[in-house]
Amino acid sequence: MNSTFLDPKAWEALNQADSFEAYVKSWLALLCASIAGTERGVVVLRKNRESPYAPIAFWPDENSKTEGLMKAAEAALDTGKGVCRLLQNDPTSQLSYPVKDEKGLRGVIALEVRGLDASSAKLAMRLLQWGLAGLLFALQRADNHQGNQARESALQAVLDSVALVLENQGFHKACLVLVTHLASLLECRRVTLGFVESRHYRIKAISHSIAFSEKTQLSRALEATMTEAGEMAQCLVFPPPKTHENRLYPAHEQLSGSYGGHAICTVPISNGKSILGALVLERAGEQSFNEETAQLCETAGTMAGLILDLKRENEQGLLTRAAKQFKALLVKIMGPGYPVWKLNGLLLIGLVVFFSVTKGGFRVSADAELEGAVQQSVFAPMNGFIKEAPVRVGDIVKENDLLFKLDDTDLLLEQIKWRGQQKQYQQQYQKALAEKKQADMQVLKAQLAQAKAELELVEKQLARTKGYAPFEGIIIKGEDWYRKLGMPVERGNLLFEIAPLKNYHVILQVDEQDITEIREQQVGNLVLTSTDHELSFQVTQITPISETREGRNYFRVEANLEQAPALLQPGMKGIGKIKVGERHLIWIWTRGLVNWLRVWTWSWWP
């Protein structure tokens, strides 16, 4: 709703229109400005039955005619009903409503509104329907010039009442302002507004009274008067007109007789489907309600009352709205009619009962990866440079196959050096022995032992320059040393990791919400991404340590394969499903949601 609806300049332009066309243009501008998101509008009318329909007003200008707008107008003219076209791929929607009076279908008004959804479209259509009162009045004024001033005053009174309700934000404040305004405008002694709550009328506002008690006899008499008019679903006037003198209105008669013999006009507020409330207007006995005044009261009360009901709904809490929606659903299911709702409800109940008593196999799914049962790591035995590396990751090796060889040039030179030293010390020792030089013999003997030890050390280092496969398997990890010959390595650097070809176990990453269901000795099935074979396994160990991955915690579960086909290789990944047992189907499908709700409730529980 746009604040332009309350703009005094817009009302001034409407009241100062010097012709019917000018009035309609001003009225259309006011209506379009009052409905939020309106981009274009058109009024199509005919002055009499013989004349054709023709557009007489566009908003904002004469170039506002569009194909969608005119199609909406034509649809309303063809059907004689309001049309709301909400397009899925177009933010602009078309609203149209026929203009009818006692002479029949007079024309149509169509609007293009941006940004409508299902709920806002209902409100916009309702405002469009209410706004037609001004256009109908203009048509009546054009058809009959008699009583022009009185009708303009009535229209102004209705629009003023609606404007006052829209201007005040709070429900109770708007109710009080409305009844006080109507009491002053219609010279009423008292005006009372009530709404239906739990099938009973409850007074919400009494003119010129900020506070009142709902337990007084006056309040009960007013509520009984509202109930009487609501049961008849029509506007009641007391004393009744001469044409209705034989009708009895006991609640109205009691209210009038007990509190000063007032004339009473009770207007039910309806949304077309049910009675929402009622408006009770009381005048002094000598001032009765004629037909025109009663009609004005009915129009003003109904239009303002519908807006007040919307305000009341908007101020209700979320739980209250949910309870109303649930109650309406129960009425559709349990009450008369609505066969589709009843059938759907029975089907839903049947499905819930079926899945609550039927059991099925429950399996826990987890990401799985194959690992070798034994994985041997090969490290650099010393600092050096890669001289040979005939294998790489993915190669299959046999036991004692060469994996790598370090550069041994320096060690070979060192070996030659100490061999020469050993030979030299041996010759010197033989000479000292022949000459019986005991002191030289002892020195040379020690030097000979040192040279022998150094030679043994060098030979051991030369043996460690080569690395061999400890068993038959596949290389699953390591650098591509085949292309990095001559690269330096340090002692302890990982060169290769080897896994056996026929001995595997499965590593399962089980989500923390499922780990309580896993037990050792449970069996399951594994399907790898690279093959469609289904492999059986048995859980052997549950590791009580979790790791975080993608924002969730997972536990490591190990399992052994019952059979290992030749096509398997370490590192293959897939999905494993562990068979837990029989569970109810509804538990299997809702356990994730139930666990989340349980944790969420616990986190917010005081």
Tokens describing residue 5:
């609806």
Whether the pLDDT of residue 59 is over 70: the answer is yes
Instruction: Say if strands 54-59 and 504-511 run parallel, antiparallel, or are unpaired.
Output: unpaired
Give the model's pLDDT for residue 295.
Answer: 77
- Quick check: 234 pLDDT over 70? yes
pLDDT at residue 9, as a whole number = 58
Distance separating alpha carbons of residues 53 and 51, to the nearest angstrom:
7
Q: In this structure, what is the dihedral angle of CA atoms 393, 394, 398, 403, given to the nearest 10 degrees?
A: -10
Neighbours of 390 (CB within 10 A): 13
Average pLDDT over residues 355-379: 83
- Residue 171 sits at φ, ψ, to 5 deg, of -65, -50
103 against 6, higher pLDDT: 103
Q: How does pLDDT run across 201-221, given as a tens digit for each residue?
A: 888 888 877 777 777 888 888
**pLDDT(532) > 80:** no
Identify the pLDDT of residue 147: 43
Q: Which long-range contacts (CB under 8 A, 24 or more apart) does 539-546 make?
A: 539/578, 540/505, 542/515, 542/518, 546/512
Measure the CA–CA gap between 279 and 271, rounded to whole angstroms. Answer: 14
Mean pLDDT computed over 247-254:
82
For residues 280 and 226, the answer to whether their CB atoms sit within 8 Å is yes
Q: Tell whether the model's pLDDT for residue 48 goes beyond 70.
A: no
Segment of 265-269, 330-334, 363-367 carrying the highest mean pLDDT = 363-367
| pLDDT score of 143 | 66
Question: Positive or negative, the Cα torsion across 528, 533, 539, 541?
Answer: negative
- Least confident segment among 137-151, 229-243, 529-543: 137-151
Are 477 and 393 in contact by the 8 Å Cβ rule? The answer is yes
Q: What is the pLDDT of residues 592-602, one digit of tens each?
A: 888 888 888 88
Please state at what angle helix 118-143 crosses helix 148-167, rounded to 10 degrees: 160
Cα within 13 Å of Cα(541), Cβ side: 9
The larger pLDDT score, comparing residue 468 to residue 307, is at 468
The first and second tokens of residue 375, run together, are: 């994985």
Listed in sequence order, the residues at least 6 apart from 498 whose beta carbon sits closer than 8 Å to its beta carbon are 375, 376, 377, 378, 397, 469, 470, 471, 473, 474, 475, 476
Instruction: Give pLDDT, residue 589.
Output: 84
- Per the rule left: phi > 0, alpha: psi between -120 and 50, beta: everything else, 359 is beta
Say if residue 529's pLDDT is above 70.
yes
Q: Do residues 279 and 269 lie in contact, with contact meaning Cβ atoms separated by under 8 Å? A: yes
In contact, 369 and 571? CB cutoff 8 Å: yes
The pair of structure tokens assigned to 574 is 């897939």
What pLDDT was estimated at residue 6? 43
Calculate mean pLDDT across residues 419-435: 85
Q: What is the pLDDT of residues 93-149, one digit of tens each?
A: 888 888 887 778 888 888 888 888 877 888 888 888 877 877 787 777 766 643 444
Please state which of the ranges 248-262, 304-318, 416-430 shows the lowest mean pLDDT.
304-318
CA 506 to chain CA mean position, Å:
39
At 169 the pLDDT is 66
Mean of the per-residue pLDDT values for the chain? 79
Segment 222-239 mean pLDDT: 85
- Phi, psi (5° rounding) for residue 258? -85, -20
| pLDDT value of residue 577 | 92
Residue 156 has pLDDT above 70, yes or no: no
Q: Which domains does the chain have, with CATH numbers?
A: 1-145 (3.30.450.40), 147-315 (3.30.450.40), 321-357 (no CATH), 376-497 (2.40.50.100), 503-604 (2.40.30.170)
Please give the residue that has the higher pLDDT: either 344 or 260.
344
Q: How far apart are CA 12 and CA 23, in angstroms?
A: 11
Handedness of CA 420, 421, 426, 427 (dihedral sign): positive
Q: Which residues pair with 55 in a beta bridge?
A: 44
Q: Region 390-396: what's the mean pLDDT?
A: 79
